[in-house]
Amino acid sequence: MSEITSESLGGIGQSVKRKEDLRFILGKGSYVEDFYLPGMVYGCVVRSPFAHAKINGIDSSEALKVPGVMAVITAKELEGANLSWMPTLAGDTQAVLADKKVHFQSQEVAFVIGETQYAAADGAEAVEVDYEELPVVVDPFKALDPGAPLLRDDKEGQKDNHIFNWQAGDKEATEKAFQNAEVTVSQSTHYQRCHPAPMETCGCVADVNPGTGRTTIYITSQAPHAHRTVLALVSPLKEHTTRLVSPDLGGGFGNKVPVYPGYILATVASLTLGLPVKWIETRSENIQSTGFARDYHTTMELAATKDGKITALRVKTLADHGAFNAQANPMKWPAGLFSICTGSYDIPNAHVEVDAVYTNKAPGGVAYRCSFRVTEASYAIERAVDLLAGELKMDPVQLRKKNFIQPDQFPYTSVTGWEYDSGDYEKAMQVALDLVGYEDLRKEQAEKRAKGELMGIGISSFTEIAGAGPRKDFDILGLSMNDGAEIRVHPTGTVTARFGVKSQGQGHETTFAQILAEELGLPEADILVEEGDTDTAPYGLGTYGSRSTPVAGGAAVLAARKVREKGMKIAAHLLEVSEADIEWKNYQFQVKGAPAKAKTMAEVAFAAYTNAPPGEEVGLEATYYYDPPNFTFPFGTYICVLDIDNKTGEFKIRRFVAVDDCGTIINPMILEGQIHGGLTEGLAIATMQEIRFDDQGNCLNGSFMDYLLPTAVEVPNWDLDRTVTPSPHHPIGAKGVGESSNVGSPAAIVNAFVDALSHLGVTNIEMPVTPWKIWQLLHEKGVA
């Protein structure tokens, strides 16, 4: 028999082609929109044109006259079922349908059900709502003015628009360090409101079957189990008779984490009519009403010695949460993991403060391809370090090296309380510097400057915090952030494995199969990974925050090891030796000291159903729910090199080098794809994307005409490299990689822009950095 190797199995570290791609290439994928059930009808949401208005009345009579319109649901109808308001993931309440007033433009006001999509849409147009406009709060700073209109008058005891104040670190020690500092820098910045804008918008097909008593909801959900639990908690639906199926998802990026009113409305409509109801958002509805990301107004300050040793960090943020506090964050952590803002640096004093406010904007605060506010944190520290380098006239590379947490300091406890698992920041940075040719670029930059040409080099040496999370501290609405894996090894040695997480394009069907192939000694091709169906998948909180590999990946490994434990008994029985004489080696069960005497996992699986040892249960299955002991801390260094036209402000990214360290790599090809995607989204945020509002609260870019996605034309070539520093606490040392590139890249890009213009006295440019903004700066400085 030929030797079994990781390569022959398609195990960990192999660039196995993605199993899921064939069906997508052949058009055989199955998205929510692809579900057509017999008798299915359609729902369309009537949305508010105003950002803040009193509702004096809703007249559905004209809508009901539209041919094909079957029913109109308003808040009044929902009140009967106690469903006009629902809890948000942050423990606030959100209107399912506006009752007394609307709080943001595009808020849900009524739901029209029609026999066709067209009838429903025509019906929605015909619903007459009598609004009385109220003063609008758009600016989060003005939201706190004493005279500001009270937005959430529905909340008992709410006297102003303030949501919470949250602090981390040591305020007093930090103040003192600033008072005694030789050098300080300060910069206010706005990490703009943006939107994940997945290619597939949100939607569902709800099928409440009065005959079977079962409810099936095909839904665009990154967390189907969590969503089912929420539904069971707020509605008459029972968890065991409700099945949520999250089929193929066309991207999520955090946008499909919250529970949206549309899901509830389609379900209520199905319950009322006894027919399946489909509701799918339009692009504009998705951008204007579903979970936005970021919107942090942050002042970052660093204190340091003259020779560049950082002595303190102070970060103060005003967070614009929109009309309802619906951000997706663990209960104890209202600003998520934002206090990771000391980044890759050994900073002895830090104080972080976040105040959140209500405004008349869409609710959200989801993590757009990042782990709970880590991108905002990473951006703040990486921009601040560059600012300090500028102040000290020090090379930003040298300043970073001087302040990095050193390899021998791990596990490292930061002053804000995080225990970093492992890292070697300087090593990753050196790989990036060598790859980009840093010294030569600086020389070139000096020559170009002498000629009046503009060239910038931007660095970001980020540290992420991924894999939420240890259940002692992390939960979503009280649910522990742990995840399950269930493995069934069939008699013929093939495997069905199910997970509580949910891929939205990450390639779980391939990578989890690879982890199991490595652990079980079976080829990845014989391992089927299933996710997203609450009837079959083990419980789990879903995929976001780069948690699938750190949490569910751990569950996969430990479930596989349980299978192996039982396999030892069966192998001992088959080989007629005692269990103590069996070892798992070379991907099979071997007799210690006699490797020729061995049984493969496939042989053991067959025996598990045909020849199990006496007293042993038949079958070969295992389930494991993994509670990670800690977070993982992926890191890396990104370097962006760009040229700016000094007359027009147009720019071109010449090089972008990304060196990532995400610990053990499961599939290098998928890893590269993930990094390409994240860098592309990072570029979009840094140079294109911002959800803007006018003074009346009108959303000014609620379509792809004004909210831009990068295309192949704008995206530069990404130069990737990596270092590998495994996580010491994860069963296979993996840290997660899906989001690092979005976390680390915006700061590298903005640092490059500021670097290109630093000799003109420019210290900050707000994202998105557009040619127009650059031209204005150049014009102001007398260059263009």
| Least spacing, CB of residue 72 vs another protein, in Å | 13
The H-or-E segment that residue 598 falls in is: strand 594-599
Question: Which of these, 228, 236, 235, 232, lies nearest to 204 by C-alpha position?
Answer: 228
The H-or-E segment that residue 228 falls in is: helix 224-234
Q: Is 698 in the site for another protein (CB under 8 A)?
A: yes
Question: Is 739 annotated as catalytic?
Answer: yes
Q: Rank residues 288 and 349 by Cβ distance to another protein and give the closer one.
A: 288
Q: Rank residues 82 and 703 by Cβ distance to another protein and give the closer one.
A: 703
Q: Would you give the binding string for another protein spanning residues 645-684, x where CB under 8 A is met? A: ----------------------------------------
Q: Applying CB under 8 A, what is the total number of residues that bind another protein? A: 27
C-alpha 166/C-alpha 355 separation (Å) is 6
Phi, psi angles (nearest 5°) of residue 25: -65, -35
Enter the tokens of residue 729. Answer: 């606490």
Q: Is 172 in the site for another protein (CB under 8 A)?
A: no
- Candidate list 369, 383, 498, 722, residue with the active-site label: 369
- DSSP class of 699: B
Do 676 and 685 form a contact (C-beta atoms < 8 A)? no
In this chain, which of 34, 133, 565, 579 binds another protein, going by CB under 8 A? 133
Question: Which of these, 607, 677, 624, 658, lies nearest to 512 by C-alpha position?
Answer: 624
Chain-centre distance for alpha carbon 367? 5
Q: Rank residues 124 and 513 by Cβ distance to another protein and give the closer one.
A: 124
Residue 49: cis peptide before it, omega within 30 degrees of 0:
no
Q: Is 116 in the site for another protein (CB under 8 A)?
A: no
In this chain, which of 703, 704, 780, 781 binds another protein, going by CB under 8 A? 703
Q: Rank residues 131 and 279 by Cβ distance to another protein and give the closer one.
A: 131
Do 322 and 358 form a contact (C-beta atoms < 8 A)? yes
Question: Is 370 annotated as catalytic?
Answer: yes
Question: Is 430 annotated as catalytic?
Answer: no
Q: What angle do CA 671, 674, 680 make, to 5 degrees?
A: 140
- Candidate list 200, 509, 531, 739, residue with the active-site label: 739
Place of tokens 């967390």: 223
User: 453-512: which residues touch another protein (CB under 8 A)?
Assistant: none
Contact region with another protein (CB under 8 A), list: 122-130, 461-469, 515-523, 742-750: 122-130
Q: Is 702 in the site for another protein (CB under 8 A)?
A: yes
User: 236-295: which residues touch another protein (CB under 8 A)?
Assistant: 284, 288
Q: Is 135 in the site for another protein (CB under 8 A)?
A: no
| Least spacing, CB of residue 126 vs another protein, in Å | 7
C-alpha 31/C-alpha 39 separation (Å) is 19
| Least spacing, CB of residue 61 vs another protein, in Å | 12
| Least spacing, CB of residue 131 vs another protein, in Å | 5
- DSSP class of 70: E
Q: Is 130 in the site for another protein (CB under 8 A)?
A: yes
Contact region with another protein (CB under 8 A), list: 123-131, 289-297, 680-688, 743-751: 123-131
Map residue 318 onto helix, strand or coil: strand
In this chain, which of 71, 89, 127, 455 binds another protein, going by CB under 8 A? 127
In this chain, which of 349, 403, 503, 701 binds another protein, going by CB under 8 A? 701
Q: Rank residues 119 and 127 by Cβ distance to another protein and give the closer one.
A: 127
- Candidate list 202, 341, 370, 699, residue with the active-site label: 370
- DSSP class of 330: -
Write out the E strands in 382-524: 412-413, 419-420, 454-463, 475-476, 479-480, 483-489, 495-499
In this chain, which of 126, 341, 428, 522 binds another protein, going by CB under 8 A? 126
| Least spacing, CB of residue 162 vs another protein, in Å | 26
Write out the E strands in 425-553: 454-463, 475-476, 479-480, 483-489, 495-499, 527-531
Question: Is 222 annotated as catalytic?
Answer: yes
| Least spacing, CB of residue 695 vs another protein, in Å | 7
CB atoms within 10 A of CB 764: 13
User: 35-94: which residues touch another protein (CB under 8 A)?
Assistant: 49-51
Q: Is 182 in the site for another protein (CB under 8 A)?
A: no
C-alpha 102/C-alpha 778 separation (Å) is 42
- DSSP class of 548: I
Map residue 659 onto helix, strand or coil: strand
In this chain, which of 233, 446, 525, 700 binds another protein, going by CB under 8 A? 700
Q: What angle do CA 767, 772, 774 make, to 5 degrees?
A: 65
Q: Rank residues 47 and 152 by Cβ distance to another protein and give the closer one.
A: 47
Q: Is 125 in the site for another protein (CB under 8 A)?
A: yes
Phi, psi angles (nearest 5°) of residue 231: -60, -40
Provide the annotated active-site residues: 222, 369-370, 739
Interface contacts to another protein, rule CB under 8 A: 49-51, 105-106, 125-131, 133, 284, 288, 694-703, 705-706
